[in-house]
Structure 1
Amino acid sequence: MKIVVVGGTGLIGSQVVALLRANGHEALPAAPSTGVNALTGEGLPEALKDADVVVDVSNSPSFEDGPALDFFTRSAQHLFAAEHEAGVRHHVVLSIVGVDQVPDYGYYVAKVAQERAVRGSGMPYSIVRATQFHEFIAPVMDLATEGTRVRLPSLPLRPIASADVAAAVAQAAQGAPANAVREIAGPEIHGLDRLGEITLTARPDGRTVVTDEHASLFAGVPDVLTGPEDIETTATRYEDWLRTG
């Protein structure tokens, strides 16, 4: 199959492309650096010619409400127009566990709008929702650092390795459209502050964690990001990933 991966040069997308190629598919990474821009529509008709599946793992360059909403909705409009024209048979998109339960966080609202566009596109689809990536913890800590203190709330998270997310997305792309949501999470639940402590134990740099419920990107986010108790879980623990990464 020819599978076009929008955002195919990023953290998840590059791994998805590699997995699909290893399984014998023609996987094309589509990103501004390859001449394809879903936000403007540039290069989409050419990239999607003869494509069977489109995988969208692109991400907004901004977490601010307006720019994120504009990115996801405009990209979706251009993608679906090009997909219908090209005769694409399956659209796969990566989203976030709990995304529809955080109405006061603009980035999540934008992702909900993206999911809504997928469902209303008339295109057979599969939505893969994942919890926060292992790779996301360190940048959150950096943004929450003041001097030698890292201020983080105790919000429970169930982080997942990006490799496990990429595997689930690649699996969806090679299968039949589910026209439904699949949710996946890492194997363990920790508070974000505890994840910071685990990080600095494995990779000490002179900083210490201070629990502050009003700090970081996740300040005020409700306890919905771990998913239901029976959510599908992957095997890679955060501590093990830190040791081997």
Structure 2
Amino acid sequence: MKIVVVGGTGLIGSKLVTKLGEQGHEAVAASPNTGVNTLTGEGLADAVAGAQVVIDVSNSPSFEEAAVLEFFQTSTRNLLAAEAAAGVGHHVALSVVGTERPPGNAYFRAKIAQEKLIEESSIPYSLVHATQFFEFVRRIADDATDGDKVRMAPVLFQPMAGDDVAEAVGRTAVGSPLNGMVEVAGPEQFRMDEFFRDALASWGDPREVVTDPHAHYFGAELLERSLVPDDDAVLGQIRYRDWPGRNAATK
């Protein structure tokens, strides 16, 4: 089966291309690095020609409100139009657990707009809502940094490994379209402030993690369950303490 992975040279996309190829599928990486640009439409028609499934794991280069909204709306419209013309039978998109719950930030609002376009299109679809990736915990800490302090809310947090995200998305892609959403998450829940206090200590990071119920997460305050899935979520296998990149020096 030909499966096109939009964002196929990125963190999750490259893992997907490898996993799907190992399963015997024709997995095609589509990204600006391979001559495919979903914002301009360049290379899209050729990339999706003959594809049975298209997986969109692309991401906006900017989280600024107008830019992130423009990225997801424009790229999704262009992608869906190319898929409709090519007769693609299954559109799979990676999104985030909690996008539909208040309070939202600019990124979540942009993802909601993307999902609305997918739901209203004629193409059968599946949405995979994942929790935060282990690979991005340093970025989360950096965004929450105020001087030498990292302000974190004491809310529930259930991150997952990129490998588990790719596994879940790939499994969804080769199945029948859900015409709905599935949630995936890590195997353990933490308190967000406690998780980052332990994580920074393991990195040898001198910043102090301060528990702050009003701390912002990329522009919005969090409720207790803003970032964690419902009870029927599919859980990954890799625990943070066992993840090979846990103590990596690079961000």
Scaled by the length of structure 2, the TM-score of the pair is 0.91
Give how far 1:148 is off.
3.5
2:159: which partner in 1? Answer: 159
List per-residue Cα deviations over 1:48-103 (Å, max 9, x = no partner): 11111100001111112211111111111101110011111110000111110135
Q: CA RMSD in A?
A: 1.7
Q: Aligned runs of 1:54-203 on 2, under 5 Å?
A: 54-203=54-203
Alpha-carbon spacing, 1:34–1:155, altered in 2? closer, same or farther (3 Å): same
List per-residue Cα deviations over 1:158-191 (Å, max 9, x = no partner): 1111110100111111112121211111112112
Give how far 1:216 is off.
4.5
Tell me, yes or no, if the aligned pair for 1:140 and 1:216 is still in contact at 8 Å: no
Give how far 1:207 is off.
2.4
Give the stretch that moved more between structures: 232-241 or 105-114.
232-241
Equivalent residue of 1:88, what SS?
Answer: coil
Alpha-carbon spacing, 1:13–1:101, altered in 2? closer, same or farther (3 Å): same
Equivalent residue of 2:217, what SS?
Answer: coil
Corresponding position: 1:222 with 2:233: no
Tell me, yes or no, if the aligned pair for 1:6 and 1:30 is still in contact at 8 Å: yes
2:207: which partner in 1? Answer: 207
Cα distance in structure 1, aligned partners of 2:180 and 2:104: 25
Equivalent residue of 1:3, what SS?
Answer: strand
Give how far 1:32 is off.
0.8
Give the fraction of aligned pairs with identical amino acids, expressed as a percent. 50
Tell me, yes or no, if the aligned pair for 1:198 and 1:239 is still in contact at 8 Å: no
Amino acid at match of 1:69: L
| Unmatched tracts of structure 1, length 5 or more | none
Give how far 1:239 is off.
2.1
Cα distance in structure 2, aligned partners of 1:235 and 1:104: 28
Tell me, yes or no, if the aligned pair for 1:102 and 1:109 is still in contact at 8 Å: no
List per-residue Cα deviations over 1:22-51 (Å, max 9, x = no partner): 111111111111110111111101111111
Number of residue pairs matched by the alignment: 245
Give the stretch that moved more between structures: 171-180 or 110-119.
171-180
Give how far 1:244 is off.
7.8
Tell me, yes or no, if the aligned pair for 1:160 and 1:187 is still in contact at 8 Å: yes
Give how far 1:155 is off.
2.5
Cα distance in structure 1, aligned partners of 2:85 and 2:213: 48
Cα distance in structure 2, aligned partners of 1:221 and 1:146: 18
Tell me, yes or no, if the aligned pair for 2:15 and 2:163 is still in contact at 8 Å: yes
1:25: which partner in 2? Answer: 25
Amino acid at match of 2:47: A
1:8: which partner in 2? Answer: 8
| Unmatched tracts of structure 2, length 5 or more | none
